Structure 1
Amino acid sequence: MRYDEDHKSKTHKKIVKMASRQIRGKGLAGPAIPTLMKASGLTHGGFYKHFASRNNLIVEAVEESFRELTDTFLKAATKSDSPEGWRGMVKAYLSLERCDKIDTGCPIAALAPEIARAESSIKSRSVLAIIKFRQDILPFMPGNNASEKEENFFIIMSSMAGAVIIARTIPDPKVREGILSSVQNFLLDRFSSF
């Protein structure tokens, strides 16, 4: 059977996208290659036509998860009812729906401790994905200059990711929503002067 020229590229992207969701949901060590391939509707045998190793797929999946988070933030910033795009990002991120969907949620909240302990090949490329994410988001952050925007980026992202991590440990949805809402209100109020 003959495939289109871009069939391999499309299949590769499909595997990476599904792996991105699998690792956010189950962790870096969680899903085995057969599970990752099955989630993409493919067999284990085709894996090495696309990736040299499981680590290569993991790195690409982490990068994909940061691209998805960047896209979510940029959409929220441009749809925001405020000229301050960061406010839309905060509101979109700190929603109960996003908190409850670990597999499509923030890679920082889902994977940061594991990335910190990962092999250097995974860690180094994951750090580059985080740096790119920060660069793409910085223009929307509150602040009067680049230094303030960078400082506020770290404060806002750390607060939001921490809120999601804590909220995910709580079984009661009303309590989870209260945690997210409290942090959202704090951030929106704290940075309103910019």
Structure 2
Amino acid sequence: MRYEPEHKKRTRDRIVRNAARKLRAEGLGGPGVASVMKASGLTVGGFYKHFRGKDELLAEAVALGFAEIGETAHAVLKNVPREDWWKEVVRWYLSSEHCDHPATGCPVAALASEIGRAKVGFKERISGQVKRLTEQWAELMPGANATERERNFFAIYSAMVGALSVARLFTDPADREKVLASARDHLLRSF
């Protein structure tokens, strides 16, 4: 059976999209190739038609996670005055909605500790994604100049990632919200 020229690209994109969600939900060691391929409606045998190995899929899936979180952040900022962008990012990032859905949320909050223990080559690919995120989101941050905005980004983003990670440790929604609200209120008052 012949497929149209775009079929392979669409199939690969579907595999990466499913892997990105499964990784954020289950961790780097969670979903195996078989699980990702099944979620994509494919057999394991077809995996190597699209990827050289699992590390390639993992890197592309994490990169897609970064792209998705950037798109979501920019969508949140529609109709928000520029001077309030960073505040809206804080409110969204430290929301119950974001906390309760790690599969579609920030890959750093979901995977940072695992990526920190990964092979150097994999970490290098991911650190490039973090640098791009830094460049994009630093523009949104408060500060009189680029250096100050970058410094504020690191402080704000690190606090948000940590708070989201801690909140996800709790099973009681009220406990989760207490962590999120404490960090959110502190950040909004501090900058």
Looking at structure 2, the residues matched to 182 and 80 of structure 1 have their Cα atoms a distance apart, in angstroms, of 23
Letter of the structure 2 residue corresponding to residue 163 of structure 1: A
Looking at structure 1, the residues matched to 83 and 152 of structure 2 have their Cα atoms a distance apart, in angstroms, of 17
What SS is found at the alignment partner of 2:108?
helix
- Residues 113-132 of structure 1 correspond to what in structure 2 (within 5 A)? 113-132=113-132
Structure 1: 4+ residue segments shifted above 4 A = none
- Identity value in percent: 44
Flag the 1:183–1:79 CA change in 2: closer, same or farther, 3 A: farther
Looking at structure 2, the residues matched to 190 and 78 of structure 1 have their Cα atoms a distance apart, in angstroms, of 24
Looking at structure 1, the residues matched to 79 and 2 of structure 2 have their Cα atoms a distance apart, in angstroms, of 43
Looking at structure 2, the residues matched to 60 and 103 of structure 1 have their Cα atoms a distance apart, in angstroms, of 15
Give the aligned CA root-mean-square deviation in angstroms.
Answer: 1.2
Looking at structure 2, the residues matched to 129 and 164 of structure 1 have their Cα atoms a distance apart, in angstroms, of 20
TM-score (ref. length: structure 1) = 0.94
The aligned residue for residue 152 of structure 2 is: 152
Which structure 2 segments of 5+ residues have no match? none
TM-score (ref. length: structure 2) = 0.96
Looking at structure 1, the residues matched to 141 and 181 of structure 2 have their Cα atoms a distance apart, in angstroms, of 20
The count of corresponding residues between Structure 1 and Structure 2 is 191
Looking at structure 2, the residues matched to 57 and 17 of structure 1 have their Cα atoms a distance apart, in angstroms, of 10
Work out whether 1:95 is the aligned partner of 2:98: no
Looking at structure 2, the residues matched to 30 and 161 of structure 1 have their Cα atoms a distance apart, in angstroms, of 21
Which structure 1 segments of 5+ residues have no match? none
The aligned residue for residue 62 of structure 2 is: 62
Please report how far the alpha carbon of residue 31 of structure 1 lies from its aligned counterpart in structure 2 after TM superposition: 1.0
Looking at structure 2, the residues matched to 149 and 17 of structure 1 have their Cα atoms a distance apart, in angstroms, of 32
